[in-house]
Structure 1
Amino acid sequence: MDDDALARSAISSVLTSKGLDVVGEADDGDQVSDAIARHRPDVVLIDLRMRRVSGIEAIRQNTTAPNAPHFVALTSFGSDEEVNAAIDAGAAGFLYKDAGPDGIVGPIRDVVEHGGAFGGAAAAVLLRRATASQSDQYTARAREQLALLTEKEREVAAELTRSGTNQEIGRRLYISENTVKRHITSALRKLGLSDRTQLAVVADRAGIGRSTSGG
């Protein structure tokens, strides 16, 4: 068994032990389309560094299909360029292989429930993209949106700009993971947003992002 197969086996064992169903595997990017058609997964955890077809290209080829799964990019390195390329290709999440079991499983659940999960440095890249063209108009609009939320929903939105799983956000705010989920779901509904990444962008534009406030 080669190193890639060993790594897949280890990750598969972790996901299974945490209650997630691993319905199939693929050896390389050129097998992803067939694997999706055969297994119909909700989420595809995909290595960006593959031999024949890169993970980024495999994401790009499969995100426009009807009922396409969410793609979560997995890498050991993750330069800004790689993160940007994965986002442009259609990745809903970006994780690092050294994140540990909870750092992989938690974000995968977050992608299923709220549409996005960008771990560690990838979150900072995402926010830099989102705020590159920020203007007073965007700031005013974001503040108007946040005014529709409760104080606790705004606190959770601010914490999303630091990335982390719902469990980690709950620990930082001294509330339960389920309470975090409830606040995110409520905030998304009130603001007409589709995922937690969009909520993080609104918080950052409004100036309450933890990554910019030093909190």
Structure 2
Amino acid sequence: MRRPKSYPFLRVGVTGGIGSGKSTVCRLFSGLGRHVIFADDVARRIADEDPEVKQAVLQEFGPTAYLSNGLLDRKGIASIVFTNRNKREKLDSIVHPRVFECIDAQLESLSRDTSFPYILVEAALIFETGMEKSLDHVIVVTAEEETCIQRVVMREKVPPEEVRRRIASQMPMTKKSRRADFVIQNNGAESDLRATVHFLDKVLFEINAQRES
């Protein structure tokens, strides 16, 4: 992502480890009427539809990278990249530049509407890819590791050992939290999380209002 001259809204990243609840946080923000760009959704669309990206993935991972319906074999690719750092970095180098371009295009389009106090960009790898340089603030969502593991096991029906391998492949949450502007701890009930989101919504609204005054 590049930093444009100005936007009429704040650009706020939301990140966190697998199972931390960052998507739930974004859903709660969305329920307040805030616009959310989900980087994972953008990446999925690009991997499935962008001819240049598909060709590069096929060259790197072979013909089994895509299913017979033309969609990326996400489970198969995940089993490779979560255990092979070089392959993970190669996949990121193929997909992420196009993801950044698409997010930039969405932000440019949204900038015509001055009613947004802020736009959220939900992405797992904000700090790892340097995306934070193009954002005004970053929210990190955290949770106890065992809580994260239990959530992913229930959601994806995978063994706990696989989730632990994924967590080990990511930037430590303590490091992400130190680099964050705001940290949301998501270990309790959703009602507690909702209250935190409501409070942070007011804070971000006020920050943007002060910026415009």
Using structure 2 for the length normalisation, give the TM-score.
Answer: 0.34
Using structure 1 for the length normalisation, give the TM-score.
Answer: 0.33
Higher relative contact order (CA 8 A, sep 6+): 2
**Which one has the bigger strand percentage?**
2
